[in-house]
A and B are shown apart, each in its own frame.
Chain A
């Protein structure tokens, strides 16, 4: 199985901040990486796929980068509705795996 290390697990930030979340793979996965946002009591929602492609309807302040083993999710200007938990996921090979999650909280 491909192991993922997502960091940080908790990120305290203010509205307007630029935040970055990292996801590192135990082996290369090309660009088969997705990012999801989950709010309390809700299902996850797809933000980014193929490492850097924005899902339809997702604000442009979200961006993704990376390939191989190292990936990054960036929120350029944090908005109130962005306080949530974020997960990376590899779909390069089964078993699919998710990162441990990063909770973005209000500072």
Chain B
């Protein structure tokens, strides 16, 4: 069974940093591209970042470029999102989601982890 479990969310002050993790199981993690998608409270979905299976290709939404860094450790079946210079508008539930390639949709999602940026 495919499982994606996010962790690392919490309350952080504006300008602060946080690192999210996503633990994957039930599939060959190293063969799949991965993504982060977020959802602000009461709002719609926003794609945040993409990383290819080998980490050779990475994309970011303009809203997080230069502040967030996506990475993965295929030996640990884990995906990460390092978030720096956090702003109030980054407050959201962050989901990790699997997509086999850039030409495939997001077929499995984690349950999400809440990040709250507030003083």
Contacts and interface: CB of A to CB of B under 8 A. Distances in A.
Interface of A: 1, 32, 34, 36, 38, 42-46, 49, 55, 87, 89, 91, 94-101
B112 A49 contact: no
A95 B107 CA distance: 18
Interface in B35-89: 35, 44-47, 50, 59-62
Interface size class of B (residues with CB under 8 A): 20 to 34
B107 A98 contact: no
B26 to A, nearest CB: 15
Interface of B: 35, 44-47, 50, 59-62, 95, 99, 102-112
A94 B50 contact: yes
Contacts of B102: 91, 94
Nearest to A49: B105
Nearest to A99: B44
A49 B103 CA distance: 10
